[in-house]
Amino acid sequence: MANAIYIINGPNLNLLGQREPGIYGNGSLDDIKADCNAFASKLNVSIEFRQSNHEGMLVDWIQEADKKARGIILNAGAYTHTSVALHDAIRAGSVPVIELHLSNTHAREEFRHKSYISPVAHGVIMGFGGDGYLLAIRAMCTLLDSTNSL
């Protein structure tokens, strides 16, 4: 989808609704995708929604989005805290990236406090569950509109 906003999801997010609902909620990733599509439609923007458990696939999609998308919303899951490869892929690109997390990672285990994505992201949204995706879409639209008016 040319000019779409890519929403890229990392490992274990396919297990939403089953995995630790006290942290991640009861909704599935398909529920979040449906909410994102409905919200994006109201804003008259298109999204490309993807999920993979494989780090290299996420890197490929970030590189693809740099050529085909207007921006990236990235929930890298656990790769947030480990992946120099994702950091480098974002840094090499030119489209804005918003880092997204369902939970507040700073209120969790110490190892989740470090992000390799934050230093190369335009902003971070965390702790709002599935609604964080809608906040990120709104923020990306605002960011893109302000960039277009420069």
How many angstroms separate the CA atoms of 58 and 109, rounded? 24
Catalytic one among 24, 79, 116, 133? Answer: 24
The reply to whether 101 belongs to the active site is yes
Catalytic one among 6, 87, 101, 133? Answer: 101
Q: Is 5 helix (H, G, I), strand (E, B) or coil?
A: strand
The reply to whether 122 belongs to the active site is no
Q: The tokens 């929604």 sit on which residue?
A: 49
Name the amino acid, one letter, at 61: W
The torsion defined by the Cα of 150, 141, 53 and 94, in degrees rounded to 10, comes to: -10
Helices 84-92 and 55-68 meet at what angle, rounded to 10?
Answer: 10
Q: The tokens 């994702």 sit on which residue?
A: 86
Active site residues: 24, 101
